[in-house]
Amino acid sequence: MGGKLVKPSADYKQSFLEAEREYEVEGKPRNASPGMLLEELEKDFEKYLEKVTNEEKGIGLKEGYVPVSMLWLVDEGEFIGSVAIRHQLSDRLMKMGGNIGYSIRPSKRKMGFGIKILELALIFVKSLGIDRALLTCYEDNLGSAKVIEKNGGVLENKMEYEGKLLRRYWIEIK
């Protein structure tokens, strides 16, 4: 399984926008471009790149938010998915979201890319000095649960969050 993590870049803009269209058709929230509509991304991609750079540096964050590194999994020049790595845990992130949130574009799911993106994200997390990472997924997201468990995730508990059952996992960073 190939693939590498890169910082968001105009080099992958077209592939990224194609993936965003896939997410839109699917009707699920997008992890890679929070707060920006697809039309905004198409018009002003530089604004998006500036936003993710600032978020990583902790610039312009909403109250209660923490610095986050956005990275993209690319393979053979194609955007495959994204991972948001939160540098610390807020009270909200301790319940939902955790240190790492990832997403694989719909057309690339069930091909092993979920396992790969999390494996690579854990290496990056270690470089931030984090030795234990929290990840969460909804109870009905069995694919994500398997990805987390295959990367060493240990289920701490299940809890209700906004009316849905949520799994909370910890991964020891080696």
* pLDDT tens column, 133-157: 999 999 999 999 999 999 999 999 9
* pLDDT tens column, 2-22: 899 999 999 999 999 999 989
Q: Do 68 and 85 contact (CB within 8 A), yes or no?
A: yes
Residue 33 half-sphere exposure toward CB, CA atoms < 13 A: 26
DSSP state of 10: G
The domain locations on the chain are 4-130
Q: Do 83 and 119 contact (CB within 8 A), yes or no?
A: no
- Residue 2 is predicted with a pLDDT of 80
Q: Do 8 and 70 contact (CB within 8 A), yes or no?
A: yes
* pLDDT tens column, 21-60: 898 888 876 655 566 777 888 889 999 999 999 999 999 9
Please state, in angstroms and rounded to a whole number, the distance separating the CA atoms of residues 155 and 145: 9
Cβ contacts of 142 within 8 Å, gap of 6 or more: none
End-to-end CA distance of the chain: 21
Q: Do 150 and 115 contact (CB within 8 A), yes or no?
A: yes
Give burial (CB, 10 Å; 0-12/13-18/19+) of 48: buried
Q: Which CATH architecture has domain 4-130?
A: 3-Layer(aba) Sandwich (3.40)
Q: Phi and psi at residue 138, in whole multiples of 5°?
A: -70, 150
Q: Tokens at residue 174, please?
A: 């080696």
Instruction: Report pTM.
Output: 0.92
* pLDDT tens column, 103-131: 999 999 999 999 999 999 999 999 999 99
Give burial (CB, 10 Å; 0-12/13-18/19+) of 165: exposed
- Residue 138 is predicted with a pLDDT of 95
